[in-house]
A and B are shown apart, each in its own frame.
Chain A
Amino acid sequence: MSSTSNQPKKNNFLAGTANYVDERLGVAGVLKEFGRKIFPDHWSFMLGEVALYSFLVLLLSGTFLTFFFDPSMTEVVYDGVYAPLKGAHMSIAYASSLDITFEVRGGLLMRQVHHWSALLFVAAAGLHMLRVFFTGAFRKPREMNWVVGFVLFVLGMGAGFTGYSLPDDLLSGNGLRIIDGMIKGIPFIGTWISSFLFGGEFPGTSIVPRLYSLHIMLIPALILVFLAIHLVMLVVHKHTHYSGAGKKDTNIVGYPLMPVYVAKAGGFFFIVFGVIMLISSFFTINPIWNYGGYDPSPVSAGTQPDWYIGWLDGALRLAPTGMEFMIGDFTVSMNILLPLAVSLIFLALVAVYPFIENWITGDKREHHVLDRPRNAPVRTAIGAAGVMFYAILWAGASTDLIATQFKMSLNQVLTAMQISLIVLPIVSFMVTKRICLSLQRKDREVAIHGRETGRIVRLPHGEYIEVHEPLNEYELYKLVDYKDYQPTLARPNAAGKITVRARIRASLSKFYFKDRVSPATQSEIEEARHHAEEIEQEVQKAIESAK
């Protein structure tokens, strides 16, 4: 190939290099296979990508920060340029964070880039999870990838929290103190874990270097590993697509990775990077110089964690008081254990939801066409209730700010939120389910009778009708293409007994599918069309005779 004489020299070089590499590594096959991977086009499929790109920005900006950050907790006297701290005693960690902020060229920008992209990373990952949940993308064969994604989300929280604590300012120290308190609230092992973690009594001089090791080594490495698994699974499973004409569980409709998607995705990375850079240039985040170095005695009002830890802080704040009791000499701190248990159960339910739903439906088929949220009313309602529960815990972390900003009583805000935490998820479950069912009924109506045209016709015998316009095939496809699960009955097993397990499954199945709205069937649609044609003929006849 390289011997064709009429090719320009440059191409010769490229082709030669490609050939060289291919002969040694055999990448042509891989590229051909990988380059032909199909990705469907929809904005909601890019949320995970946003998380991935913010992670890349985190790696880049974080590497820059490690060049200048020193995690030591040795006490020094600050002698930098920031006047209100000159001469103050502080840890080297805080002093080097101040130096990055005020003296390293571009340091403050990089700190802000790192922090904003961290907030974006977890937010985009969270929204991506919601998209996957509400469209049922976690169904077979993707249940395990849901779990991998869940682990990534938790690792993101871990990476965020360990990073939040590194500058050793008052705000992050207050946050660590809360973690210390939570750990110490665990019976029997709490005190030991706390001294193990902090290397003695809080705060000690070991915690920041230890969190630093976790933050820059272990957690990012784990994130990378799980990210790789996540992406490999994505390639193995192929992407899902929304229902539409020609889109089936056996195919995938979209553009190939090469060249369309690579160009698009590459461009999108720079857009995400650019937006992060812009917000970091114009908006302050975590002004550590305002907070001062950490000292265990002062606690600042308005101390909150970053948003992704907020729901855990909220759980602590919303826990009712006075629940602790004594067993012998030990105090059992229910005000810590209850929120801890609630948070862990919530996380566990999120992690195993695909398996629960799969057990209830008993559906062993592979699903590559996504559900429209309305077509899985109970799942969507459970998701809405979960979002509401999370949101109230999250808002619970800012009770004090809500009280001061909206001029309300802190105590009443707390009580209102405690009640809301129980009531609102139930309300949102019911409301969401009703909305889904009525949307389904509307879809069914439109599928059968077509779209209302607003054209009112009076027939010769005096009847008024509105003419409906039937949908075309593409529109119809979307409205009728969904699975119609039916509640299953508890069946006796081989020994002829109906087990408790089977009963639970049957009642859950009833809970999920008893109010279902079946999609319009072919015969219903044809019958309605036939009827519509008859009317149309009558209308035409009437028009003719009027002439």
Chain B
Amino acid sequence: MMQKLKRKLNGLRRSPRSVIAVLFAGLIVVGSGYTAVNASVSSERTVEYTKEDIEYGKKLFLSNCASCHGKNAEGTANGPSLIGVGAASVDFQVSTGRMPGAASGPQLQVKPVQFTEEEIHAMAAFVASLGAGPSVPDAAYLQANGDPTKGGELFRINCAMCHNAAGAGGALTEGKYAPSLDNSSPKIIYEAMVTGPQNMPVFNDANISPEEKNDIITYLVYLRESASVGGEELGGLGPVVEGLVSWFGLLGIIIAITIWLGAKSN
């Protein structure tokens, strides 16, 4: 009996139809599991905003932002619509001082922050209430306690072409640039990834999961906080600075010495 069943099962296993069935089942499991994980991740990160927050935020918005973004945040010729950009966008732009923008130019500059944390929170609440968008990240993903190796790999593949392999920043076209990440807090790095400010592409949770974002943050924080093993880092800008130092520092010192050696003894 057992022998028979076994043979039958073997037969089933070898039939081409079973391959398709297994593939299909696998896809269902992986797909639904992935969606479930994704769904749970995005629901985890919602921050609650009160009605007062939203109203206060609206007032601040009308007096500080509406001139460019429109009274209903619908956007004008001077500024984009903020419907659906999410709270993370507001938090990123305002808490780095980029918004309110001082002048039009190729890119908004980092400058001293213009609002208090409560005000930023309120404005974020107002913009979040206009339409669904990325919310302010959960503190769990900002601990820099992930896997720095994986983070480094992800960083090199996704970020290094603009921000440089060591996060020193780099040039983009027409005066735009990817800033250095040396002074960006984990929260700012996370928000930049989910909102894609200015020229940066959006890295949503399907591209890079929140855990992987934490890995990237871990890597960047490690680079920033670990002492330089080889001595003074020369700005971390690579061979150009090394070349300048070798000409004007190293060779300069040695020329000074040759002049000293070649000087007449009088």
Contact = CB atoms under 8 A, between A and B. Distances in A.
Contact of B149 (A86, A295, A410): A86
A282 B231 contact: yes
B12 interface: no
Interface string B82-121: 0000000000000000000000001000000000000000
B233 A287 contact: yes
A149 interface: no
B80 interface: no
A79 to B, nearest CB: 11
Interface string A264-282: 1000100110011001111
A112 B230 contact: yes
B174 A301 contact: no
A292 B169 CA distance: 17
A197 interface: no
Interface stretch (B126-134, B182-190, B253-261): B253-261
B131 to A, nearest CB: 34
A106 to B, nearest CB: 13
A271 B234 contact: no
A410 B254 CA distance: 35
Given A123-B251, A410-B173, A43 B261 contact: yes
B47 interface: no
Given A50-B258, A284-B230, A120 B246 contact: yes
B242 A290 contact: no
B68 interface: no
Contacts of A112: 230-231
Contact of B156 (A45, A281, A284, A292): A292
Interface string A291-330: 1100101111111111100100000000000000000000
A126 B255 CA distance: 13
Given A287-B233, A301-B160, A404-B171, A307 B251 contact: no
Contacts of A108: 229-230
The B interface, classified by DSSP as helix, strand, loop or mixed, is helix
A298 B3 CA distance: 55
Contacts of B236: 287, 290
B168 interface: yes
A42 B153 contact: no
B157 interface: yes
A295 B154 CA distance: 12
Interface in B165-202: 165-166, 168-175, 177-178
A47 B255 CA distance: 8
B243 interface: yes
Given A124-B251, A124-B254, A275-B253, A301 B161 contact: yes
Nearest to A282: B231
Contacts of A264: 261
Contact of A88 (B153, B240, B258, B262): B153
Interface in A13-47: 41-47
Interface residues of A, number: 72
A410 B229 contact: no
B239 A50 contact: no
A307 B238 contact: no
B222 A83 contact: yes
Contact of B246 (A46, A116, A272): A116
Contacts of B223: 84, 290
B140 interface: no
A198 B244 CA distance: 32
Nearest to B220: A84
Interface in A395-411: 397-401, 403-404, 407-411
B149 A302 contact: no
Given A116-B250, A170-B165, A297-B157, A307 B242 contact: yes
A119 interface: yes
A171 interface: yes
B163 interface: yes
**Central interface residue in B160, B163, B171, B231, by most chain A CB within 10 Å:** B171
B165 A300 contact: yes
A91 interface: no
A281 B228 CA distance: 12
A199 interface: no
A315 B168 CA distance: 25
Contacts of B234: 283-284
Contacts of A303: 238
Contact of B165 (A285, A292, A412): A292
Interface string A101-118: 110000010001001100
A214 interface: no
B249 interface: yes
Nearest to B259: A43
B175 A410 contact: yes
A56 interface: no
B237 interface: yes
B155 to A, nearest CB: 8
A87 interface: yes
Given A102-B229, A119-B242, A287 B166 contact: yes
Contacts of A287: 166, 228-230, 233, 236
**Central interface residue in A47, A303, A397, by most chain B CB within 10 Å:** A303
Contacts of A398: 240
Contacts of A307: 239-240, 242-244, 246-247
A108 B228 CA distance: 12
Interface string A425-452: 0000000000000000000000000000
9 contacts: A45-B262, A85-B149, A85-B152, A101-B229, A102-B229, A119-B246, A298-B161, A404-B170, A409-B175
Interface of A: 41-47, 50, 83-88, 101-102, 108, 112, 115-116, 119-120, 123-124, 127, 170-171, 264, 268, 271-272, 275-276, 279-287, 289-292, 295, 297-307, 310, 397-401, 403-404, 407-412
Given A116-B250, A268-B258, A283-B230, 14 more contacts: A84-B223, A86-B149, A101-B229, A123-B251, A170-B165, A290-B223, A295-B156, A298-B160, A300-B156, A300-B164, A300-B165, A302-B169, A307-B244, A410-B172
Interface of B: 106, 147-149, 151-153, 156-157, 160-166, 168-175, 177-178, 219, 222-223, 228-234, 236-240, 242-247, 249-251, 253-255, 257-259, 261-264
Q: Lowest 4 CB-CB distances: which A-B pairs, in order?
A: A301-B170, A307-B243, A284-B230, A43-B262
